[in-house]
Amino acid sequence: MPFPPDGPSLTAPTSLPLRGVTVLAVEDSRFASDALRLILTRAGARLRRTETLSAAQVHLACYRPDLVIADLGLPDGRGEDLIAAASARGIPVLAVSGHPEGREAAMDAGAVAFFDKPFPSVAGFLRLVEQLLTGRGPEAEPPLVEVSGGDPIALRDDLTRAAALVEEAADPVYVAGFVRGLARSIGDRALEEAAVAAAGEGGRQQLSAVLAERLTGLQPV
Ligand code: CA
């Protein structure tokens, strides 16, 4: 399901370094996507979001974003293909991944920069985006945005989706990547290890059990 378009927040601060900039974010994790929404819309960007490679291609056929932010592991393909398609049209692409080892393939595909999720420094991320768009550093210090903790509803969505994917025995490489990225974002080492082990014999049941445990442990929202 596509995310609704986001406009600048009503409570946006007066400093809007990304005012007038359209960003297309292609990210299948709602938890990560929500962090991006918070950071970019508060800086004044117009943000469009999609969760799949095919939907991103429809977006690119309809309009020209100033910047594409592409996650590498997508449910229907690889972000590298999107990076190649967008860069061929001269659109800069910032690749993001929960796995630092994805950097080389992303840069080879034509990404102008790579960012390792989770976003450790909001100010640093905004500085990078501004730099990519203007070719120089920011004019003013970007607004301070607090994203620590993340959105519990988006986290629940991601965990629920991961549990369903494990249940239906979806592509194990994609599922392991999705869960591993999410686990790193929330600093959950046990979940990360279970995701890595899920590729092996018997690992799927173990991952299923850990995901069920995490979902049970979430506070009702
Ligand atoms: Ca992903």
In the chain, the domains with their CATH numbers are 22-134 (3.40.50.2300), 152-216 (no CATH)
| Alpha carbon of 29 to ligand 1 centroid (Å) | 6
Cβ neighbors of 121 (< 8 A, separation 6 or more) are none
What's the CA-to-centroid distance between 42 and ligand 1, angstroms? 23
Q: What is the pLDDT of residue 116?
A: 83
pTM of the model as a whole: 0.82
The rounded distance, in Å, linking the Cα atoms of 175 and 168 is 11
Residue 44 confidence class, pLDDT cut points 50, 70, 90: very high
Cα-to-centroid distance, 137 and ligand 1 (Å): 28
> Letter for the amino acid at 168?
E
Q: Return d(Cα 32, Cα 134) in angstroms, integer.
A: 25
Q: Is 180 helix (H, G, I), strand (E, B) or coil?
A: helix
Identify which of 143, 175, 163, 154 has the alpha carbon closest to the alpha carbon of residue 208. 163
Q: CB-based burial of residue 1 (10 Å sphere; 0-12 exposed, 13-18 middle, 19+ buried)?
A: exposed
What is the distance in A from the centroid of ligand 1 to the CA of 133? 24
CA 220 / ligand 1 centre spacing (Å): 25
Mean pLDDT of the chain: 86
The predicted model gives 138-148 an average pLDDT of 50
Give 120 or 207, the one with higher predicted confidence.
207
Q: How far is the CA of 144 from the centre of ligand 1 (A)?
A: 26
Q: Please report the pLDDT score of residue 134 as a whole number.
A: 79
13: pLDDT strictly greater than 70: no
Q: What is the pLDDT of residue 12?
A: 43
Higher-confidence residue of 51 and 172: namely 51
Q: What is the pLDDT of residues 73-97, one digit of tens each?
A: 999 999 999 999 999 999 999 999 9
> 3-state DSSP helix/strand/coil percent for the chain, to nearest 5?
50, 15, 35
Say whether pLDDT at 207 is over 60.
yes
pLDDT (mean) for 193-201? 86
Is 220 in a helix, a strand, or coil?
Answer: coil
Judged against a pLDDT cut of 50, whether residue 201 lies above it is answered with yes
Q: Does residue 7 come out as left (phi exceeding 0), alpha (psi in the -120 to 50 range) or beta?
A: beta
In angstroms, the CA 22 to CA 218 distance is 35
Query: What percent of the chain stands above pLDDT 70?
Result: 84
Q: Provide the pLDDT for residue 149.
A: 66
Judge contact between 156 and 44, C-beta under 8 A: no
pLDDT at 160: 96
**What percent of the chain has a predicted confidence (pLDDT) above 90?**
60
Q: What's the pLDDT at 123?
A: 77
H runs (alpha helix) in the chain: 30-42, 53-62, 79-88, 103-109, 122-134, 152-167, 172-185, 189-197, 203-217
Distance 174 CA to ligand 1 centre (A): 8
* Cα–ligand 1 centroid distance for 33 (angstroms): 10
Residue range 200-221: mean pLDDT, rounded: 87
pLDDT of residue 7: 56
Average pLDDT, stretch 151-179? 92
What is the bridge-based pairing of β-strands 77-78 and 73-74?
A: antiparallel
pLDDT of residue 98: 84
pLDDT bracket for residue 27 (50, 70, 90): very high
